[in-house]
């Protein structure tokens, strides 16, 4: 992959933006005499060389004639802007039809993953991971993959808005500046309310802003808060930070309600580390997860123990009590055990103690006491400084709940004169959003920098839309000393302005330019810290090209020591337990971020709305996940709407029966129920943020003492899978670590099943794939990646309910074992590229055939849509275009809107209605690699081709390659003892193989 950095010359292009409309004039002369003809050619008319002016040749003459005709003709037209390549002066770097790749930084959430973005003809069309990044590697998450579609969102603001009316930037700037002056004069407060900002240059700009305005406060707010961890670390270690965890160094991982493979803190990074530490070829780590709802992380754990959110503290204390006892530390009172299964806890504590210094306890719960106990646990286990890094902490979440609460109070007291809201939406996701809105009304000037409508921006005076991150410069420091740069991939689509420039403008810079600023910032602050490069330009170009730079800060931090009063924290938890009353008819609610929508900011992204939840496989909406036992007891059926009555109000939600759900706990995803958002996300699901509360200055994402009532209504859930049992079929094969180490049958000595079919003859290659069932966490990044790469349409809730989802790759979820706590597996399933394909023999018109390279290919032009192939596919991976999904008046976004269509991959045809489609193993990428190899007069190398799903996978569970090449990774994996083919006994001979899931049961649990 070629990565490029932007040269100075190109930056000008970025600034050009929208071409001027014909009503503008540049000079009085132009206004009087009309636009000058040569203005069409700013660089002057090109000179014909070759034939001299004195000797006109026949060719030259005809060429001139052609040119003149074309020039005269073209001067009269102005092509539709959306389809034009927005370059007036051709660039050497941009060849129509050839993609460029630029490194940038994701702002889908504050994890700030490094990305490489594919740009075709001036449009970013595909997000890919940045292999240069030491933190995140090649992988991405589903949300990150989908951010490119948010760029082409019809709902985005076209320009600045003043009190609901389109306005001019100058006018708005003046109003804000006036207001700031007024605030300063009246000694009133100015506040900036933002999401986590880990961009060093932006933080500097904010500092600069605060110097201008003495009464300035900056509050960072995360709807899914991590401030409990920061507060606990402040008291335990004297540092208000989130540690940087190293799951790859841990041999035993204990998760306490932390979905670190799905949504928690930095899932791409953690998934990568986790998979690396759990390769069955080595000695895989042990993972024990305590959680209430089944999460992606829990579904991958070796031991998963369902608990109620209220039991979490008691479990942490019980573990601490055992570990402290082993460490010879007293301090945890030998009180009553609140968690019934003491034996399990003993075993977990034994394992932890056995792997002192290479274990890790993490908790995602936003509670200082529990986090303090977790800190003590990690301290006594010797993990601090090993798997828990406090010296180079994570800066991925820096929100502060109490500061936010204080700001809301200040707003309500009328102390805030000017409020700038940047990247957050508290009117939707704050626990007491009504209180926030009341406060907002008392602010004399409220400004939102949001780039698209949300519940907050609809209530402010001024909207100064920020760029989408793919249009903007930027930098980030997700983990201390690890920097990531962001560069624009496209000229801003609308009249937006970078938030940093907006702040600089209000800080007094009349002509703010964030690019110059960030460059200067790096020159002054980061360049001096490194020793590799002699000149700043070289350093900058390199950093921009790589997208990442690891620049250790000069100061050496000393290792922290446990100093806080952890015994008191344990005591607080135990006292709370004593007081808590348990009643079988009162339930607990547990709120979590869903893998697709997270905190709801991506609600208008149809790719994410239609992404099946990795566990429940439900799309387009949230639900109340109840345990099968509870559903049986109350006679609840799936889709039945229940009313949940809490002290903070009541909600009505459809039920989903979730195996593995804790019996008395009901889990509900936040991020749904947006009301003021674009068409895709409006009123999808129910907003449960109002049920979250503030306790001791921290957001609490669970609530006790909830009553459940039936409503008699039903609201059919749009799930993509309804049957979760394998029925004893050879679909996901498992082995145990012990068996594997003893050596099972290998691929070589495995007897091939007899066949009556002639061997398929292949040409130069035989493309195949291998999917490691052990590495796949089910995170679903591949699903969105495939959708983006292959122009897979979004079909909407109604069509998903009709079981017509179009995804080419799906992740099947199967359970085995007891319903209340089953073992689960995730199986990516796409076209298996059978060599004896059942689909091929039945197609009457030969629209699907095996290529000479072993690909099962679908010929759209030939397909007449009998659907026989789909009926006869044992894997049911074929997808039929029931309608013309690109032309759907009920669903006019993504592929059905001119703006949304800009995300389409020009290398992949958009299928019309009535034809069958399916996974092609990214044949366009294979073709490109072959062409490039041909041009370079070399063989296709393995590294040349990565399928979209493979590339997106943070755990590298998917390997693609040439089965003809005995040295390719995929060929070698075919010989792996774990290799098997799904439904092998059918004799269809798939080219996609799987590696068995390896179970590593904890012997004493």
Partner 1 sequence: MSAVRAIHGPVKIVPSESQVLPETRLVEGRPTLHEITSGIAHPLESRPGKAWWICLALAVAALLNLGGMVAYLVGKGVGIWGLNNSVGWAFDITNFVFWVGIGHAGTLISAILLLFRQQWRTSINRSAEAMTIFAVMCAGMFPAIHMGRPWDAFFIFPYPNQRGPLWINFRSPLVWDVFAISTYLTISLVFWYLGMIPDLATMRDRTKDPVKKFIFRILSLGWNGSHRTWSRYEVVSLILAGLATPLVLSVHSVVSMDFATSVIPGWHTTIFPPYFVAGAIYSGFGMVLMLLILTRQTMPPQRYTTLVHLDKMAKVTLLTGMIVSYAYMTEFFNAWYGGNLYERYHFINRATGPYAWCFYFMVLCNVVTPQILWFKKARTNVALLFIVSILVNIGMWFERFVIIVVSLHRTFLPSACGMFYPTKYDVGILIGSFGLFFTCFLIFIRVLPMIAMWEIKGVVAHSEHERALGSDAAARAVAGD
Work out the burial of residue 972: count CB atoms within 10 Å of its CB; fewer than 13 is exposed, 13-18 middle, 19 or more buried. middle
What is the C-alpha to C-alpha distance for residues 464 and 457, in angstroms, rounded to an integer?
Answer: 10
Residue 472, both tokens: 């903007």
| Residue 247: DSSP 8-state | G
Collapsed DSSP state (helix, strand, coil) of residue 119: strand
Choosing from 184, 867, 969, 999, the residue that interacts with partner 1 (CB under 8 A) is 867
Choosing from 331, 385, 697, 874, the residue that interacts with partner 1 (CB under 8 A) is 874
CB of 622 to partner 1, least distance (A): 22
Interface with partner 1, residue 884, by CB under 8 A: yes
Interface with partner 1, residue 663, by CB under 8 A: no
Residue 610, both tokens: 């239609």
Choosing from 51, 491, 694, 726, the residue that interacts with partner 1 (CB under 8 A) is 726
CB of 657 to partner 1, least distance (A): 16
- Cα 441–Cα 444–Cα 445 angle in degrees, nearest 5: 100
Q: Is the dihedral of CA 787, 793, 797, 801 positive or negative?
A: negative
Interface with partner 1, residue 494, by CB under 8 A: no
Choosing from 727, 748, 759, 890, the residue that interacts with partner 1 (CB under 8 A) is 727
- Strands 587-593, 618-619: parallel, antiparallel or unpaired by DSSP? unpaired
Comparing CB distances to partner 1, the nearer of 747 and 914 is: 914
Residue 618, both tokens: 């439900």
Choosing from 881, 886, 946, 956, the residue that interacts with partner 1 (CB under 8 A) is 881
Interface with partner 1, residue 816, by CB under 8 A: no
Choosing from 803, 927, 975, 1004, the residue that interacts with partner 1 (CB under 8 A) is 803
Interface with partner 1, residue 852, by CB under 8 A: no
Comparing CB distances to partner 1, the nearer of 494 and 883 is: 883
Interface with partner 1, residue 725, by CB under 8 A: yes
- Strands 640-646, 693-695: parallel, antiparallel or unpaired by DSSP? unpaired
Would you state the torsion angle of the CA atoms of residues 289, 292, 296, 300, taken in this order, to the nearest 10 degrees? 30
Collapsed DSSP state (helix, strand, coil) of residue 174: helix
Comparing CB distances to partner 1, the nearer of 580 and 842 is: 842
Interface with partner 1, residue 988, by CB under 8 A: yes
Interface with partner 1, residue 868, by CB under 8 A: yes
> How many CA atoms are closer than 13 Å to the CA of 884, on its beta-carbon side?
6
Interface with partner 1, residue 449, by CB under 8 A: no
Interface with partner 1, residue 870, by CB under 8 A: yes
Residue 739, both tokens: 């068996």
Residue 769, both tokens: 């794939």
Interface with partner 1, residue 813, by CB under 8 A: yes
572 backbone dihedrals φ, ψ, rounded to 5°? -60, -45
If DSSP states are collapsed to H, E and C, what string results for 644-689? EEECCEEEEEEEEECCCCCCCEEEEEECCCCCCCCCCCCCCCCCCH
Interface with partner 1, residue 771, by CB under 8 A: no
What is the C-alpha to C-alpha distance for residues 985 and 991, in angstroms, rounded to an integer?
Answer: 14
CB 303 within 8 A of CB 288: yes
What is the C-alpha to C-alpha distance for residues 926 and 924, in angstroms, rounded to an integer?
Answer: 5
Contacts of 519 (CB under 8 A, 6+ apart): 540
CB of 915 to partner 1, least distance (A): 6
Comparing CB distances to partner 1, the nearer of 689 and 980 is: 980
Interface with partner 1, residue 823, by CB under 8 A: no
Q: Is the dihedral of CA 905, 909, 915, 916 positive or negative?
A: negative
CB of 551 to partner 1, least distance (A): 47
318 backbone dihedrals φ, ψ, rounded to 5°? -60, -40
Comparing CB distances to partner 1, the nearer of 45 and 864 is: 864
Comparing CB distances to partner 1, the nearer of 580 and 731 is: 731
| Residue 594: DSSP 8-state | B
Strand locations in 328-407, DSSP E? 359-363, 388-394
Comparing CB distances to partner 1, the nearer of 417 and 878 is: 878
Choosing from 345, 915, 921, 970, the residue that interacts with partner 1 (CB under 8 A) is 915
CB of 634 to partner 1, least distance (A): 23
CB of 917 to partner 1, least distance (A): 11
CB of 819 to partner 1, least distance (A): 16
Comparing CB distances to partner 1, the nearer of 494 and 868 is: 868
What is the C-alpha to C-alpha distance for residues 821 and 658, in angstroms, rounded to an integer?
Answer: 10
What is the C-alpha to C-alpha distance for residues 484 and 875, in angstroms, rounded to an integer?
Answer: 41
Residues that contact partner 1, how many (by CB under 8 A)? 57
- Strands 189-194, 992-995: parallel, antiparallel or unpaired by DSSP? unpaired
Interface with partner 1, residue 879, by CB under 8 A: yes
CB of 949 to partner 1, least distance (A): 17
Residues between 731 and 750 with contacts to partner 1, criterion CB under 8 A: 731
CB of 863 to partner 1, least distance (A): 7
Interface with partner 1, residue 882, by CB under 8 A: yes
What is the C-alpha to C-alpha distance for residues 98 and 474, in angstroms, rounded to an integer?
Answer: 26
Choosing from 31, 163, 354, 802, the residue that interacts with partner 1 (CB under 8 A) is 802
Comparing CB distances to partner 1, the nearer of 586 and 876 is: 876
Comparing CB distances to partner 1, the nearer of 353 and 882 is: 882
Choosing from 913, 927, 936, 938, the residue that interacts with partner 1 (CB under 8 A) is 913
What is the C-alpha to C-alpha distance for residues 295 and 280, in angstroms, rounded to an integer?
Answer: 22
Interface with partner 1, residue 896, by CB under 8 A: no
Residue 249, both tokens: 């160094």
Contacts of 468 (CB under 8 A, 6+ apart): 150, 151, 156, 451, 493, 496
Comparing CB distances to partner 1, the nearer of 131 and 731 is: 731
Interface with partner 1, residue 217, by CB under 8 A: no
The full DSSP string for 729-742 is -SSS-EEEHHHHHH
Interface with partner 1, residue 883, by CB under 8 A: yes
CB of 958 to partner 1, least distance (A): 18
Interface with partner 1, residue 948, by CB under 8 A: no
What is the C-alpha to C-alpha distance for residues 591 and 668, in angstroms, rounded to an integer?
Answer: 5
Residues between 829 and 848 with contacts to partner 1, criterion CB under 8 A: 829, 838, 841-846
Type and span of the H or E element at 73: helix 58-75
Comparing CB distances to partner 1, the nearer of 584 and 727 is: 727
Interface with partner 1, residue 620, by CB under 8 A: no
Choosing from 386, 804, 930, 964, the residue that interacts with partner 1 (CB under 8 A) is 804
Interface with partner 1, residue 812, by CB under 8 A: yes
Phi-psi region of 671 (alpha: psi -120 to 50; beta: other; left: phi over 0): left
Name which of 275, 297, 284, 295 is nearest 959 in CA terms. Answer: 275
Interface with partner 1, residue 864, by CB under 8 A: yes
CB 448 within 8 A of CB 464: yes
Interface with partner 1, residue 335, by CB under 8 A: no
Choosing from 871, 927, 931, 975, the residue that interacts with partner 1 (CB under 8 A) is 871
CB of 722 to partner 1, least distance (A): 6
Contacts of 35 (CB under 8 A, 6+ apart): 25
Collapsed DSSP state (helix, strand, coil) of residue 532: coil
What is the C-alpha to C-alpha distance for residues 311 and 337, in angstroms, rounded to an integer?
Answer: 10
Stretch that binds partner 1, among 218-226, 498-506, 600-608, 721-729 (CB under 8 A): 721-729
CB of 686 to partner 1, least distance (A): 26
CB of 847 to partner 1, least distance (A): 8
**What character string, x for contact with partner 1 (CB under 8 A) and - otherwise, covers 532-561?**
------------------------------
Interface residues toward partner 1, by CB under 8 A: 721-729, 731, 799, 802-805, 810, 812-814, 827, 829, 838, 841-846, 862-868, 870-872, 874-876, 878-884, 912-916, 982-983, 986, 988
């Amino acid at each position: 992959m070629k990565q490029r950095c932007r040269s100075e010359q190109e930056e000008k292009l970025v600034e050009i933006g929208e071409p001027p409309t014909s009503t503008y004039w540049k000079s009085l002369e132009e206004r009087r005499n009309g636009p000058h003809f040569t203005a069409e050619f700013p660089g002057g008319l090109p000179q014909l060389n070759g034939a001299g002016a004195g000797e006109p040749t026949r060719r030259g003459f005809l060429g001139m004639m052609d040119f003149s005709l074309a020039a005269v003709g073209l001067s009269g037209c102005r092509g539709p802007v959306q389809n034009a390549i927005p370059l007036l002066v051709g660039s050497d770097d941009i060849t129509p039809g050839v993609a460029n790749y630029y490194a940038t930084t994701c702002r889908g959430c504050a994890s700030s993953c490094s990305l490489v973005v594919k740009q075709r003809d001036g449009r970013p069309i595909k997000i890919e991971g940045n292999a240069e990044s030491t933190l995140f590697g090649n992988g991405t998450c589903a949300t990150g993959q989908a951010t490119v579609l948010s760029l082409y969102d019809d709902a985005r603001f076209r320009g600045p808005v003043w009190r609901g009316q389109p306005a001019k930037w100058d006018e708005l700037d003046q109003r804000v500046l006036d207001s700031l002056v007024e605030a300063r004069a009246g000694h009133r407060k100015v506040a900036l309310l933002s999401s986590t900002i880990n961009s060093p240059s932006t933080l500097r700009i904010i500092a600069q802003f605060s110097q201008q305005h003495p009464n300035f406060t900056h509050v960072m707010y995360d709807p899914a808060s991590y401030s409990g961890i920061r507060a606990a670390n402040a008291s335990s270690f004297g540092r208000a930070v989130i540690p940087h965890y190293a799951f790859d160094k841990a041999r035993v991982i204990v998760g306490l309600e932390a979905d670190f493979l799905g949504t928690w803190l930095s899932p791409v990074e953690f998934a990568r580390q986790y998979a690396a530490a759990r390769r069955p070829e080595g000695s895989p780590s042990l993972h024990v997860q305590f959680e209430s709802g089944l999460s992606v992380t829990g579904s991958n754990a070796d031991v998963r123990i369902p608990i109620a959110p209220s039991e979490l503290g008691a479990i942490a204390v019980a573990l601490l009590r055992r570990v402290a006892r082993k460490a010879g530390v007293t301090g945890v009172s030998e009180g009553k055990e609140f968690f019934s299964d003491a034996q399990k806890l003993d075993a977990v504590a034994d394992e932890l103690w056995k792997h002192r210094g290479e274990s890790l306890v993490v908790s995602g719960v936003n509670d200082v006491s529990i986090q303090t106990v977790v800190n003590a646990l990690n301290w006594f286990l010797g993990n601090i400084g090993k798997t828990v890094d406090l010296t180079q902490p994570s800066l991925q979440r820096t929100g502060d709940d109490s500061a936010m609460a204080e700001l809301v109070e200040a707003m309500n007291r009328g102390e805030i004169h000017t409020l700038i809201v940047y990247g957050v939406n508290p009117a939707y996701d704050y626990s007491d959003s009504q209180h926030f809105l009341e406060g907002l009304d008392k602010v004399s000037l409220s400004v939102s920098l949001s780039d698209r409508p949300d519940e907050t921006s609809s209530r402010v005076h001024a909207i100064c839309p920020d760029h989408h991150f793919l249009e903007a410069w930027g930098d980030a420091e997700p983990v201390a000393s690890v920097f990531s740069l962001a560069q624009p991939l496209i000229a801003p689509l609308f009249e937006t302005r970078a938030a940093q420039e907006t702040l600089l403008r209000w800080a007094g810079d009349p002509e703010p330019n964030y690019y110059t600023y960030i460059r200067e910032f790096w020159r002054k602050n980061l360049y001096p810290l490194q020793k590799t490069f002699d000149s700043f330009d070289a350093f900058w170009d390199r950093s921009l090209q790589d997208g990442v730079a690891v620049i250790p800060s000069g100061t050496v931090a000393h290792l922290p020591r446990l100093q806080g009063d952890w015994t008191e924290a344990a005591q607080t938890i135990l006292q709370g337990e004593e007081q808590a009353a348990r009643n079988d008819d009162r339930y607990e609610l547990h709120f979590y971020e869903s893998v697709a929508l997270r905190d709801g900011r991506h609600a208008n992204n149809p790719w994410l709305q239609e992404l099946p939840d990795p566990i429940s496989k439900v799309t387009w909406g949230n639900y109340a996940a109840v345990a099968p036992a509870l559903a049986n007891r109350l006679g609840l059926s799936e889709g039945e709407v229940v009313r949940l009555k809490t002290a903070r109000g009541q909600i009505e939600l459809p039920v989903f029966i979730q195996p593995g759900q804790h019996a008395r706990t009901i889990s509900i995803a936040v991020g749904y129920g947006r009301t003021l958002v674009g068409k895709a996300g409006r009123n999808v699901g129910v907003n449960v943020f109002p049920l979250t509360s503030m306790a001791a200055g921290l957001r609490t994402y669970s609530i006790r003492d909830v009553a459940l009532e039936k409503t008699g209504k039903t609201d059919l859930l749009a799930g993509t899978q309804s049957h979760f049992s394998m029925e004893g079929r050879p679909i996901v094969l498992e082995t145990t670590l012990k068996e594997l180490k003893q050596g099972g049958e290998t691929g070589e000595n495995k007897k091939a099943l007899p066949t009556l079919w002639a061997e398929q003859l292949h040409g130069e290659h035989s493309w195949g794939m291998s999917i490691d069932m052990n590495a796949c966490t089910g995170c679903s990044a591949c699903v969105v990646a495939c959708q983006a790469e292959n122009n897979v349409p979004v079909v909407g809730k109604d069509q998903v309910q009709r079981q017509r989802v179009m995804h080419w790759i799906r992740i099947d979820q199967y359970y085995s074992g007891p319903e209340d706590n089953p073992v689960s597996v995730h199986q990516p399933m796409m076209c298996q590229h059978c060599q004896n394909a059942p689909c091929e023999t039945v197609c009457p018109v030969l629209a699907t055939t095996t290529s000479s390279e072993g690909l099962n290919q679908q010929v759209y032009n030939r397909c007449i849509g009998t659907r026989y192939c789909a009926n006869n596919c044992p894997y049911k991976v074929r997808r039929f275009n029931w309608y013309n999904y690109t032309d759907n008046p009920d669903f006019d976004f993504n592929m059905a809107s001119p703006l949304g269509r800009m995300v389409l991959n020009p290398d992949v045809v958009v299928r019309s209605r009535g034809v069958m489609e399916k996974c092609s193993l990214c044949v366009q990428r294979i073709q490109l690699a072959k062409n490039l190899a041909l041009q370079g007069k070399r063989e296709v190398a393995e590294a040349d081709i990565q399928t979209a799903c493979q590339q997106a996978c943070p755990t590298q569970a998917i390997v693609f390659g040439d089965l003809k090449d005995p040295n390719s990774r995929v060929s070698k994996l075919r010989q792996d003892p774990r290799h098997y083919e799904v439904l092998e006994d059918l004799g269809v001979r798939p080219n996609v193989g799987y590696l068995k899931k390896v179970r590593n049961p904890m012997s004493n649990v």
